[in-house]
Structure 1
């Protein structure tokens, strides 16, 4: 059987295991109900409780009574025998397969169904039930997704074990076996149960009998302390964020976010230049931009924690603070009447008078799921022409343009301070010419008045203009309080000369936050070991192993093997690199960026004939790819 793991990963010792006697264990949500019935009833109606369910007459909302759905050459026949639910799927290549619904995901506004496809794999079906329209729909109605496409519902990007289950379960572990490409996934409970947020409760149960909890837990026996505002936000963010996981499955509740995740910054493709959500980014990155976060507002100031519902309806959820009464918990808040035409300049009770419609613009994902931007931004139609970002005013006033909206706001608020320069202008310019935008980006990165995620993004965008000078100018940010800033500053140090880079990053390799240490390890990877002392080699080696351990938990991701291929090339190991890029195309044949590397590596390792064989395979899979056509020309000479 072929081996495809990078050799350095094989040399790493297995992960340390937290033994049962050293940590509390899961007891299940039903056990919590015995004492916490009111909270349990609130939770029963929450989306958390219904995030992942076994199929039943109560949980299944879709019409399985002999219905059919046809889309782009694919046909599905839904049926039930009263106990189980089935889908007969005929793909556009003509192959028909019968599936039994394994489990159900979500409750509204759509519900998805999970099917087993072998080797422990659960795949989320692209045909969903629209609970509002009461009809079947397709998540990607405009895309051509044949069965051999990585984005097909049977492919790696729709794999429930790897991509979804962690945030739909309690105590989840993926347990992927890379040699067999199979899963032995486990969880304490499907659905987001009590212990998903509070942590394993066995020590709490013992506390109720008078036993003192072990060290490291709260006085009531939990690993998570919900009185810590920042910890509370980060606990919610562990699922409500776009991020790269650094561990397998759910970390213990209360674990600091940046120890186990690398948060996606305000990158092109994920966010508009002004920080508005573009792709599905799941709230946290938006919220970190807000003044509300900066002033200590938490998720639970607006959302009831057990039901997940808003604490009040309509504008009332906002006026619990933004009103003439104010809120003593936030003394810096200006006292004013915001829920009035003098502020919103729309008729009372109209859609334009709703706070969320101006300050939390909505975007629809998964065809029917409307989500609100949580950066709580001041409308800036005057920036739309620069940033290309949506303008919330003309989203409603479709017959007008942003210039009209900007002039109206200028009339209403002639003396406002909210039309000052915005980071979005610099971020938009950086996407076109990062070198010309570098001065503004540097200013943003060094300005402590900006949110940490904004400063970190400025440093990220500066990589397009990276130089030894910029690395030196940002070196002080390696000690910034925000781990996002420290990690981005570490990445920018790759432009520094090796000796200076090593000197600056040695302390960062010992940073208390794992995501920062990994960023530093990546930045020193190509520093020659001959230029290091033995103690420096040990520190760098530990940092690189930290990164490798995180990669090892994501070997079921094609993206991981792209990284491993690059890592192998850095280490001048062409055979390991070829194995890594081969694994990429085995998982997702349409990853066009992997094929040219595979052709070149086949040439290095096996000669021209081997390269030609791989090239033919590549062109049959991604015909017309410019890089492959260029290689074809080179190999034909």
Structure 2
């Protein structure tokens, strides 16, 4: 997933991992255990191809595409990641200071070098040189190379509008040895951020040495980050045959075609970075790679979304957009956004009225032709914020301290749902002195015959979050509904997993062939509750599913399959899926949460040494990861090695002295002492 500064959020991002941990070492030995060699694969990263065309750099494009280059060069894409210099560093490095929560930073220049002296809460002062610069507005962040090859994003950033320094996380008071400290794994640039700020990026992390040897064709989001490597296109411009490779190319030599009228492919290309997701590969997938071959999209989970699907955490657009009627009707990113300037195609309400007007838009014939930019629709005084379409239909939240991000679900305000879902509403976001009931009454007065105030899936998801057993029937109905977004249906399937039984697994077998990879993946997870033979027969058909996400889910289901031998063709598919999944895990070995997944896999296969090694790596990366410490105590205790359990517990308490679970373990072990 994209970076998250909340450790609980990181751990809960994959409920499957937590499920594996809770079952622990009590699982039976699977006959397929021999197919899993945790941590031992060096396979090629998902989504990357060794014989693809080469990258040539954005400057190569300028000669023929001067207009596009001029538009791009000052855009948020062009300035997503730059080297420090007079034209790129916007902050005041003229001996300025910032102090917060016992941390002091002094910023200065020495000739062409930009430096910061940082005094941490432990009283130690270290000097860092700015390695590179991130972003351009409304804030700018600076990267320090804390070890050779390791880039970390500093938490003290520059407000480009107020011209002042501020702390991204003012409520955090973290010592340098905390995993959430800016020098820790969750703020690492190489693993968490760089792939969306660079072109042709490869992370190249060595889990044995914990060293990064990252490379990229170009820092910043260049031309080839979206269109694909340019070597074959250059050959096309010169009338030459491109070098032989196995990657499909469009008629112009690109891996991603933007002139083919394939709006869905274009959306998925943007979504690779503009989504909250877990990447499967070691860096950028080739542009044009289908989304679900490269990423695992976050569903409408509590840390990311409100129960009705409104944005809560920083979810980067795609999961919101998938909920919208606009997506359903074929609207794409570039209907509203210029891909080179990254700005809207029109100012204010004009970007909406290019379609939502009496004239409509011939590309979208289902549009109701009506006047929307008028008091008869918005019922607000001219010149007030309420006249802006986005105020009601794209509410904004602030992230990273000062950056407003708009909700792209383009929802109709539903203050009548707030009492049931606990989610905010657009009306009282502005009218803060009023209640949601007041807002609901106003809307009912304005639109007395509206059909837009009927059932909303947020009601079911809210109930399912609170008590999936009590909401079982409603969640089933939502998962089977065909008139709601696939991401909401998949979320309902996810909420049903803790209460799944054989009957439910059988009921959702038809969804294993659903056109949505999200739904197929979650329906697969429900098969865990099926009788072993039925589960295997249903899962094996998806081991070679077109979508990587589905193949990985199928591979996980087969870990403890009670089958001694499969037909040869099934063995081949199973081995391929297992190998691909494990290769993906190893590319994220620098993630503490990935180490939990690796450890869970080892527990399922009863490979206790591998499980202990992975849990140990998790706490090495993040010493405050109590879930991993708990297992480092439980495993040796269950195996009768009480001395090892006590030793692990002492280590855990040394860095987490106040944790109640660890204290409870200490009391138990003390009571058992002869």
TM bin (shorter chain): over 0.9
* 2:153–2:189 Cα contact (<8 Å) kept: yes
**Distance between the aligned counterparts of 1:450 and 1:20, measured in 2?**
36
1:43: which partner in 2? Answer: 72
Unaligned runs of 5+ in 1: 1-5
Show CA shifts across 1:286-310 (max 9, x none): 0001010111100000001100000
**Distance between the aligned counterparts of 1:42 and 1:16, measured in 2?**
33
Q: Does 2:257 align with 1:225?
A: yes
- Greater alpha carbon shift after TM alignment, 422-431 vs 524-533: 524-533
Aligned residues: 632
Alignment of 1:202-213 (within 5 A): 202-213=231-242
Alignment of 1:156-555 (within 5 A): 156-213=185-242, 216-226=248-258, 227=260, 228-530=262-564, 532-533=566-567, 535-555=569-589
Compute the displacement of 1:216 (Å).
1.7
**Distance between the aligned counterparts of 1:193 and 1:81, measured in 2?**
30
1:77: which partner in 2? Answer: 106
Q: Does 2:605 align with 1:576?
A: no
Show CA shifts across 1:415-441 (max 9, x none): 111111111011111111101111111
**Distance between the aligned counterparts of 2:333 and 2:366, measured in 1?**
19
Q: 1:72 to 1:13 in 2, by over 3 A?
A: closer
* 2:47–2:286 Cα contact (<8 Å) kept: no
* 1:358–1:379 Cα contact (<8 Å) kept: yes
Compute the displacement of 1:36 (Å).
0.4
**Distance between the aligned counterparts of 1:365 and 1:446, measured in 2?**
35
1:148: which partner in 2? Answer: 177
Show CA shifts across 1:35-61 (max 9, x none): 100000000121000000000011000
**Distance between the aligned counterparts of 2:562 and 2:42, measured in 1?**
24
Q: 1:247 to 1:19 in 2, by over 3 A?
A: closer
Q: Does 2:57 align with 1:25?
A: no
For residue 111 of structure 1, the aligned residue among 136, 140, 161 is 140
Compute the displacement of 1:603 (Å).
3.1
For residue 130 of structure 1, the aligned residue among 152, 159, 162 is 159
Unaligned runs of 5+ in 2: 1-34
Q: 1:112 to 1:195 in 2, by over 3 A?
A: same
**Distance between the aligned counterparts of 2:295 and 2:521, measured in 1?**
12
**Distance between the aligned counterparts of 1:21 and 1:272, measured in 2?**
41
Secondary structure at the aligned position of 2:553 is classed as helix
RMSD: 1.7
Secondary structure at the aligned position of 2:82 is classed as coil
- Greater alpha carbon shift after TM alignment, 597-606 vs 11-20: 11-20
Q: Which has the higher contact order (CA 8 A, sep 6+)?
A: 2
1:3: which partner in 2? Answer: none
Compute the displacement of 1:97 (Å).
0.4
Q: 1:219 to 1:145 in 2, by over 3 A?
A: same
**Distance between the aligned counterparts of 1:159 and 1:507, measured in 2?**
38
Compute the displacement of 1:506 (Å).
1.1
Secondary structure at the aligned position of 1:507 is classed as helix
* 2:101–2:173 Cα contact (<8 Å) kept: yes
**Distance between the aligned counterparts of 1:431 and 1:20, measured in 2?**
40
Secondary structure at the aligned position of 1:12 is classed as coil
Secondary structure at the aligned position of 1:346 is classed as coil
Secondary structure at the aligned position of 1:8 is classed as coil
For residue 64 of structure 1, the aligned residue among 75, 89, 93 is 93
Compute the displacement of 1:534 (Å).
5.5
Show CA shifts across 1:324-373 (max 9, x none): 01000100000000011111111123200100000001000001010000
**Distance between the aligned counterparts of 2:38 and 2:80, measured in 1?**
34
Q: Does 2:669 align with 1:635?
A: yes
Show CA shifts across 1:451-502 (max 9, x none): 1111111111111221111111111000001111111111111111111111
* 1:574–1:605 Cα contact (<8 Å) kept: no
**Distance between the aligned counterparts of 1:400 and 1:315, measured in 2?**
26
* 2:47–2:281 Cα contact (<8 Å) kept: no
Secondary structure at the aligned position of 2:107 is classed as strand
- Greater alpha carbon shift after TM alignment, 516-525 vs 127-136: 516-525
In the superposition, the TM-score normalised over structure 1's length comes to: 0.97
Compute the displacement of 1:136 (Å).
0.2
Secondary structure at the aligned position of 2:445 is classed as helix
Compute the displacement of 1:532 (Å).
4.7
**Distance between the aligned counterparts of 2:248 and 2:374, measured in 1?**
49
Secondary structure at the aligned position of 2:183 is classed as coil
**Distance between the aligned counterparts of 2:401 and 2:106, measured in 1?**
21
**Distance between the aligned counterparts of 1:269 and 1:135, measured in 2?**
30
* 1:119–1:181 Cα contact (<8 Å) kept: no
Q: Does 2:642 align with 1:613?
A: no
* 2:199–2:219 Cα contact (<8 Å) kept: yes
* 2:46–2:280 Cα contact (<8 Å) kept: no
**Distance between the aligned counterparts of 1:18 and 1:244, measured in 2?**
13
Compute the displacement of 1:536 (Å).
3.8
* 1:79–1:87 Cα contact (<8 Å) kept: yes
**Distance between the aligned counterparts of 1:17 and 1:454, measured in 2?**
27
**Distance between the aligned counterparts of 1:238 and 1:20, measured in 2?**
17
**Distance between the aligned counterparts of 2:443 and 2:449, measured in 1?**
11
Secondary structure at the aligned position of 1:22 is classed as coil
* 2:46–2:282 Cα contact (<8 Å) kept: no
**Distance between the aligned counterparts of 2:370 and 2:46, measured in 1?**
54
Compute the displacement of 1:508 (Å).
1.0
Q: Does 2:622 align with 1:588?
A: yes
**Distance between the aligned counterparts of 2:89 and 2:551, measured in 1?**
45
